[in-house]
Amino acid sequence: MKSTILFDVDGTLIDTEKTIIKSFQKTLSDTYGIKPTAEELFYILGIPGTKAVERYVHSEAESQKLLADWNENDHAMFHYATVFDGIEQALERLHQRNIKLGIVTSRTDTEMQVVKDNFDIDKYFDIFITASKTKLHKPNPDPILKAMETLNLSPQDTMYVGDSIYDFQCAKNAGIEFGLASWGAKENPEFAKVDYHLETPLDLTKLV
């Protein structure tokens, strides 16, 4: 039984795929006049923005400009995003049972603030570890380890819930169990090895 659950954000708590893809498409079109398909941009889901833009930029200044424009477009298109069905009910039940809840995300502080501004879910969480908080990011274990150190958590009592292979690898590298958010995940043969296949968010209440 777990006493602490850490969550990814995009594809796990919030359905932001359309927002992320459309905002990056607009950014690339406005900046470079190119229009990649949604499928060509699936690689950006679940990784920090700095990694996502690498194949399109040639300098740090260019990277920062593209990221700033993307963030602006993401904010403007955030009306496409929705909280997954069952998330708020699951968070409320976990909170009532005094389960510690945290967020470990590839979003930066600024990008996470967009989520907080649009959805009333941050009240449930004890900690927010964003890409701004660590030098290394998923699948490196540092983000999860940072959360565990801050909250004084033991690996045995902690699990991570996410939708991407990077989330799974981050959890394994940190030595904790992983629950796959099937409602937001894309098929990957590696997911046969996950500790828990969660069909709905309320499945989490069975693990605490």
Of 12, 32, 18, residue with least CA distance to 77: 18
Q: Which residue has the tokens 């969660």?
A: 198
- What's the pLDDT score for residue 48? 81
* 39 & 123 share domain: no
Q: What is the CATH number of the domain that holds 9?
A: 3.40.50.1000
Q: Where are the beta strands (DSSP E) in 131-170?
A: 158-162
Residue 129 has pLDDT above 90, yes or no: yes
| pLDDT tens track for 153-186 | 999 999 999 999 999 999 999 999 999 999 999 8
Q: Do the Cβ atoms of 170 and 176 come closer than 8 Å?
A: no
Residue 110 has pLDDT above 90, yes or no: no
Number of domain units in the chain = 2
* 157 & 118 share domain: yes
* 128 & 198 share domain: yes
pTM to 2 decimal places: 0.91
Of 163, 170, 205, 206, residue with least CA distance to 188: 163
* 29 & 105 share domain: no
Reported as a pLDDT band with limits 50, 70 and 90, residue 150 is: very high
| Cα 200 from Cα 179, distance rounded (Å) | 11
| Cα 7 from Cα 179, distance rounded (Å) | 9
Q: Do the Cβ atoms of 23 and 179 come closer than 8 Å?
A: no
Residue 46 has pLDDT above 90, yes or no: no
* 59 & 137 share domain: no
* 124 & 192 share domain: yes
From the number of C-beta atoms within 10 Å of its C-beta (0-12, 13-18, 19+), residue 76 rates as exposed
Is 117 in the active site?
Answer: no
| pLDDT tens track for 56-88 | 999 999 999 999 999 899 999 999 999 999 999
Neighbours of 84 (CB within 10 A): 18
Residue 97 has pLDDT above 90, yes or no: yes
Reported as a pLDDT band with limits 50, 70 and 90, residue 49 is: confident
- What's the pLDDT score for residue 179? 98
Domain boundary pick from 28, 50, 78: 78
Q: Of the listed 8, 15, 74, 163, which one is catalytic?
A: 8
**Distances, alpha carbon 91 to alpha carbons 27, 75, 85, 94, 122, in Å:** 34, 25, 12, 5, 10
| Cα 49 from Cα 163, distance rounded (Å) | 17
* 6 & 19 share domain: no
> 130: domain range?
2-13+81-204
